[in-house]
Every structure is written in C-alpha cells, then in structure tokens.
Amino acid sequence: MSSMPQAQRTHLNTIMKKTGKNMKQLTALIQKSGLTRHGELRTMVMREFGLGYGDANTLVHAVERTDGEREVEKQSQEHVLDEIYKGAKAPLRPIHEAVMREVNRFGEFEMVPKKGYVSLRRKKQFVMLGPSRNKRVDLGLNVKDLPPSNRLIEEPRGSMCNYSVKLTDPDEVNAELTAWMKFAYEDAG
C-alpha cells in the first residue's frame, strides 16, 4: 500500500482547486492557526475556505498525518480487520464478511483499512464499513438520491457519507442493501 492512495491524492487535489492554495500553503495556514484539536482545526478550515465537513476533515488529517490510514499502512488488511473486530466486536465480523461478498461481485475497487473501519473506493469512496459499539456495524453510503426507505438514515450535508445503514445481522445484507451499494459503486467510478 502506498503512503497516500490515489483516491486521497485526487481528493486533496480537488481541495486545493476549491481553496486556490497548494498543500504547502494550506499546511502553513493550519499550523500557524494556533489551534491544536482536530475538531477546532476542521471547523476553522470549513469557515476559512468554505469547505464541507468531509473535505475539511480530509485536509486536517493529511496535514497532521492522523488519518488512521498511516497508522495501519504497514499491516496486512487481514490483521487490521482482526484488530477492528476483536473482543466484544468479534461477533460482528460475519456482517462485514457478508457485505464484502456482495461488493466483491461488483468489480474492481480499493479497500483501504483505517484504524476503526474500512473505506471502499474507486475514484472516490463509495462505502465506509465498521463496527459501532459492540452491537452493530455501520455502513455509510456515499451516493445521492437513493429512494426513501426506513433502513436508510440520511446524514447531514457535508458528512463523509450521504446515508448510513445500521446492521445487526448478516441477513440484513439483502438485495435492497446490495442495490444501494451497487448504485454507490457505479457512481464512484
């Protein structure tokens, strides 16, 4: 795995175009702000450059090298998944595996393990997947205009994903969820 996957480089290039600043300039502005907490820096970047939550979050992580990706980049994907789904979260791993079986049927994509979840990407992220507490797996969908459903939770504008779905059983990875993931996959590509 490279130190910065193509999807992240593309995202940062988009952020630079939006702000009119290069990474050196953005890094200097963030470091000179006097702020130290991630949330404060993200809010400052959103305010100063009019960026959405996802863009600001990505930028701050890139500048601070705290994106969760660098922490796991030298570990195998299997080891990272073992860490994500260990202890009380171990019973949730079959839900993760059920999601991955469906997504693997779509075609090529990049799985980028983070510290507490995995990001599935093509040209952009289309699914985020990881345990939330010890009772469920949260699946984020980065796609717009899905038909209404009781299962879909619309996330606030500017979030990392447009929708989320709470999964508590592998049987919930059904045709409806697979169709949403396929739509997100195709939109990301």
pLDDT of residue 7: 65
Instruction: Round to whole Å and give the CA distance between 9 and 6.
Output: 5
pLDDT value of residue 72 = 43
Euclidean distance between CA atoms 106 and 166, whole angstroms: 22
Q: What is the pLDDT of residue 56?
A: 85
| β partners of residue 154 | 163
pLDDT along the chain (189 residues), means of 10: 58 89 89 85 90 85 65 61 90 96 94 85 92 91 92 86 95 97 94
For residue 5, what pLDDT is reported?
Answer: 60
- Phi then psi for 95, rounded to 5 degrees? -65, -45
Give the side-chain half-sphere CA count within 13 A for 11: 23
Q: What is the residue extent of each domain of the chain? A: 6-67, 77-187
